[in-house]
């Protein structure tokens, strides 16, 4: 069941490393405009379907980032000083609709999903040479 945390608990270090190493930075030309002036959007896509990391930067600082994997999401927002976890609809909609990023909706968890946050941290830790991913890790560790 996609909304169960069981699959998270079964990931060993090799699986976490494989997920982390599969993240590839996407050419910014593929991103549709929509960011505010002075902001830059950065997108990493993982090898698994629906595995994405997106960030919006301003003045070399992360304004917000979103990490989605297997129907789960984590969103951090500087302006609201907020960390949220939730469930996406990506695993519940037909593939031809889920392909479009604008079709993704996220339902916030009532309580932070600490298990998912720990998984995100584990994945980010495996990319020490990626400054943006390490900055995300620092932000998550500050919120702990």
> 1 lies in a domain?
no
- Residue 64 domain flag: yes
Domain residues for 124? 6-142
What pLDDT score was predicted for residue 93? 55
Higher confidence at residue 134 or residue 106?
Answer: 134
Establish if 84 belongs to a structural domain: yes
pLDDT at 31: 65
Examine the pLDDT at 126 and tell me if it is beyond 90: yes
> Residue 99 domain-assigned?
yes
Residue 96 pLDDT = 56
Residue where the block lists tokens 């030309």: 29
* 125: nearest Cα among 9, 42, 23: 23
Let me know if residue 20 belongs to a domain: yes
Q: Give 22-65 pLDDT, tens digit per residue.
A: 999 998 777 665 557 788 999 999 999 889 999 999 998 999 99
pLDDT tens figures, 3-24: 455 555 578 999 999 999 999 9
- The pLDDT-based confidence of 91 (bands split at 50, 70, 90) is low
* Total of domains in the chain: 1
Q: Taking the C-alpha atoms of 30, 102, 37 and 82 in order, what is their torsion angle to the nearest 10 degrees?
A: -120
With pLDDT > 70 as the criterion, what percentage of the chain qualifies?
A: 78
In a domain, 10, yes or no: yes
Q: To the nearest whole number, what is the mean pLDDT of the chain?
A: 84
Residue 87 has pLDDT above 50, yes or no: yes
pLDDT at position 37 is 74
pLDDT score recorded for residue 98: 47
pLDDT at 129: 95
CA 22 vs. chain centroid, Å, equals 13
Residue from 131, 98, 139, 126 nearest 19 by CA: 126
CA quadruple 24, 14, 136, 113: dihedral, nearest 10: 120
CB 51 within 8 A of CB 73: no
| 73, part of any domain | yes
For residue 33, is it within any domain? yes
Angle CA 135–60–78, to nearest 5? 65
């Amino acid at each position: 069941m996609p909304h169960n945390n069981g699959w998270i608990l079964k990931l060993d270090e090799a699986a976490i490393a494989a997920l982390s190493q599969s993240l590839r930075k996407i050419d910014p030309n593929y991103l549709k405009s929509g960011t505010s002036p002075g902001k830059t959007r950065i997108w990493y896509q993982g090898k698994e379907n629906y595995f994405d990391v997106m960030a919006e930067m301003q003045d070399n600082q992360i304004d917000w980032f979103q990490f989605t994997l297997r129907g789960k999401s984590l969103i951090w927002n500087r302006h609201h000083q907020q960390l949220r976890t939730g469930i996406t609809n990506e695993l519940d909609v037909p593939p031809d609709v889920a392909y479009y990023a604008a079709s993704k909706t996220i339902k916030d968890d009532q309580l932070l999903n600490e298990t998912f946050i720990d998984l995100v941290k584990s994945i980010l830790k495996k990319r020490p040479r990626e400054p943006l991913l390490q900055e995300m890790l620092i932000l998550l560790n500050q919120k702990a």
